[in-house]
Amino acid sequence: MKPYVIKQGDYLLKVAHLLGFDADEVWDSGENGELKQLRTDPSMLKPGDILFVPDEPKKRLRLNKYETNAFVARVPAVKLALLLTENGEPLKNKKFVVEGLGDDSEQTTDGEGRLEVTAPVHVREVIVRFIESGNRMKLAIGDLDPPDTPSGARMRLTSLGFYGAKLAGADRYVAHDDAALADEAEAGKLRGQGAVAALVTLQLSRHQVSLRDLWSLLVRLSAYILTGNRDRRQGGA
């Protein structure tokens, strides 16, 4: 076995396909015991992680001269599931197409605002284009760091709108980083999921959160969002 350094966008099934080894066999090997204990989900690895892969080169196919050679490629695929909201409300029953997969057939989000995309492992990103609004959303496949890491937490908070740039009027953005969220939280301006998000980033900025506590906070954040959407659908506050 030899070491392979995980890069942004890498995950076990993708690396296995590119290098030609059995994903389950390699993941369960003793050499990868430490990584398996650190990353419970092999579909979410962090850049810099060390994955031990077989030394043997990828198997080659025999090519016969002066003959017709037929080959069948079986490319594994991954499924992406997303819950889409706008201003806290689910984007339900919205028509969309997925660009970048060679299939532009029209699809629709479900009654909860969910959509699913199945993509071959060699695809790096796709574009979801909504028919009615014309809005486009880029999905970078395999880009999320594990949720129990500080970088993974920040990525998810950014996707939820609690981190990074924040719109403040037409064509004007302001920073919405650890310090900004901490100030809002300490001033008592945030409630519900905003308060949980602020708590996560505040502790991250002060290096006062363990990985286990960080994961617990993110679970609470997701629970706030899901509960809030459900309450609004049922006519609650």
pLDDT tens readout for residues 14-53: 999 999 999 999 999 999 999 999 998 999 999 999 999 9
Mean pLDDT of the chain: 77
The residue among 171, 191, 141 whose CA lies nearest residue 10 is 141
- Alpha carbon distance 230, 207 (integer Å): 33
Half-sphere exposure of 152 (CA within 13 A, CB side): 17
Q: Which position has the higher pLDDT, 214 or 102?
A: 102
C-alpha separations of 125 from 80, 99, 143 in Å? 11, 9, 9
- Alpha carbon distance 144, 121 (integer Å): 15
* CB-based contact 177:202 (threshold 8 Å): no
Predicted pLDDT of residue 226: 42
Domain with CATH 2.60.40.1120 in the chain: 77-140
Phi, psi dihedrals of residue 17, rounded to the nearest 5°:
-65, -45
E strands present in 70-113 = 77-83, 85-86, 89-90, 95-99, 107-108
The owner of tokens 């031990």 is 52
Q: Which position has the higher pLDDT, 86 or 184?
A: 86
* pLDDT bucket at 126, cuts 50 / 70 / 90: very high
pLDDT at 227 over 50: no
77-140: what CATH class?
mainly beta
Domain with CATH 3.10.350.10 in the chain: 2-53
* pLDDT bucket at 214, cuts 50 / 70 / 90: low
* CB-based contact 122:102 (threshold 8 Å): no
Q: Would you give the DSSP letter of residue 180? A: H
Whole-structure pTM value = 0.70
* pLDDT bucket at 152, cuts 50 / 70 / 90: confident
Q: Which position has the higher pLDDT, 104 or 236?
A: 104
Predicted pLDDT of residue 105: 92
The residue among 153, 164, 146 whose CA lies nearest residue 196 is 153
* pLDDT bucket at 236, cuts 50 / 70 / 90: very low
Q: What CATH number does the domain located at 2-53 have?
A: 3.10.350.10
Tell me what percent of the residues of the chain surpass a pLDDT of 90: 42
- Alpha carbon distance 146, 205 (integer Å): 18
The owner of tokens 């959407």 is 229
The model's pLDDT over 157-207, given as tens digits with 9 standing for 90+, comes to 777 666 666 655 556 655 555 555 555 555 554 444 444 455 555 455 444
